[in-house]
């Protein structure tokens, strides 16, 4: 991948080159067209190892999607497409499997979950630089829950407002992600456990005035029912802050790209 220097900017195609931009970067990205055909990659013996790597990439991508779903309410607070960074991290977890050959290595997130701790959805404003006091939390895997204390905030001391918006809203989310294993019968990566639609629960403080002190809140996030976890399940606690302003109807609405979030802790 190449990037154009300042002074030479265009998007589109010229000959064998494609130029495009992406959110989170002020550079124009260059990529060459062509390469081996899809059919050749799929069938040629020369691309056997490539096919194995592609299979594993599919698995790490599926795991990345599961993690994103586990913190779905916070995705809009990202200021860049963090999927590539997340998949790269998951790939390291996949490579830690020394029992299976390349192309079928399992993704034991549960054995390496600490690698996700502190993963940020932002490049410009990290959550900890905006909300400075640390959150307190305690997990209970037996009950699939977490208790959280959102700290009190004094504007200008504990709370930074880099976006110059008059309102803020703090969100916390508890998600659940399963390890993924390669299925020889279906030739794809599948989660050890299926959770249906219930992969996260979340809480919002509601809109607060940036210029006024926030008293803090103690909350509990617990998955409904008698959810029983085993060694293949990972709980993901993430937190974010959203900023907003009044619209023409005098309602508080979130302002795009004026927030930040990160994975606080896994268990």
Only one residue has tokens 């993430």, namely 238
Residue 217 has pLDDT above 80, yes or no: yes
Of the chain, the percentage scoring pLDDT greater than 70 comes to 80
Pick from 185-194, 204-213, 229-238: least confident:
185-194
Residue 2 has pLDDT above 50, yes or no: no
The total of other beta-carbon atoms located within 10 Å of residue 253's CB is 13
Question: What mean pLDDT is reported for the chain?
Answer: 87
* Adjacent-strand bridge partners of 23: none
- pLDDT of the residue at 164: 96
Residue 135 has pLDDT above 90, yes or no: yes
- pLDDT of the residue at 46: 46
Residue 208 has pLDDT above 90, yes or no: yes
Rounded-to-integer distance, Cα 40 and Cα 258, Å:
45
Q: Strands 233-246 and 252-266, how do they pair?
A: antiparallel
- pLDDT of the residue at 199: 92
Q: For 78-92, how does the pLDDT look when each residue is reduced to its tens digit (9 = 90+)?
A: 999 999 999 999 999
Helices and strands, counts by H and E, the chain:
4, 14
Residues 176, 70: contact at Cβ < 8 Å? yes
Pick from 26-35, 145-154, 163-172: least confident:
26-35
Q: For 105-128, how does the pLDDT look when each residue is reduced to its tens digit (9 = 90+)?
A: 999 999 999 999 999 999 999 999
Label residues 104-114 b or e (16+ Cβ within 10 Å = b).
bbbbbbbebbe
Report phi then psi at 160, rounded to 5.
-95, 145
Pick from 34-43, 131-140, 204-213: least confident:
34-43
Q: Tell me which long-range contacts 107-112 makes (C-beta under 8 A, separation of at least 24).
A: 107/59, 107/60, 107/63, 107/179, 107/180, 107/181, 107/189, 108/179, 109/63, 109/177, 109/178, 109/179, 109/180, 109/234, 110/179, 110/231, 110/232, 110/233, 110/234
- pLDDT of the residue at 90: 95
Q: Tell me which long-range contacts 143-147 makes (C-beta under 8 A, separation of at least 24).
A: 143/222, 144/176, 144/222, 144/223, 144/227, 144/228, 144/229, 144/235, 145/174, 145/220, 145/221, 145/222, 145/223, 146/174, 146/220, 146/221, 146/222, 146/235, 146/237, 146/267, 147/218, 147/219, 147/220
Rounded-to-integer distance, Cα 29 and Cα 145, Å:
43
Mean pLDDT of 50-60: 74
Residues 172, 94: contact at Cβ < 8 Å? no
């Amino acid at each position: 991948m190449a990037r154009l220097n300042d002074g030479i900017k265009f998007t589109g195609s010229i000959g064998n080159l494609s130029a495009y931009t992406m959110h989170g970067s002020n550079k124009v990205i260059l990529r060459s067209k062509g390469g081996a055909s899809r059919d050749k990659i799929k069938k040629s013996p020369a691309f056997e190892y490539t096919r194995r790597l592609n299979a594993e990439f599919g698995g790490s991508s599926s795991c990345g999607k599961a993690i994103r779903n586990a913190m779905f309410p916070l995705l809009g607070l990202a200021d860049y497409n963090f999927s590539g960074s997340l998949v790269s991290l998951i790939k390291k977890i996949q490579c830690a499997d020394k029992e299976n050959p390349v192309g079928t290595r399992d993704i034991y997130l549960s054995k390496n979950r600490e690698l996700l701790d502190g993963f940020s959805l932002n490049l410009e404003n990290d959550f900890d630089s905006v909300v400075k006091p640390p959150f307190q939390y305690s997990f209970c895997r037996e009950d699939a829950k977490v208790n959280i204390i959102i700290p009190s905030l004094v504007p200008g001391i504990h709370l930074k407002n880099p976006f110059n918006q008059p309102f803020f809203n703090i969100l916390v989310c508890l998600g659940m992600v399963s390890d993924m294993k390669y299925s020889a019968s279906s030739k794809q990566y599948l989660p050890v456990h299926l959770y249906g639609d219930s992969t996260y629960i979340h809480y919002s403080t509601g809109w607060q005035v940036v210029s006024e002190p926030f008293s803090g809140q103690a909350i509990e996030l617990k998955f409904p029912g008698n959810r029983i976890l085993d060694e293949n399940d990972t709980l993901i606690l993430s937190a974010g802050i959203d900023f907003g302003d009044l619209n023409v109807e005098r309602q508080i609405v979130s302002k795009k790209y004026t927030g930040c979030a990160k994975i606080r802790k896994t268990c």
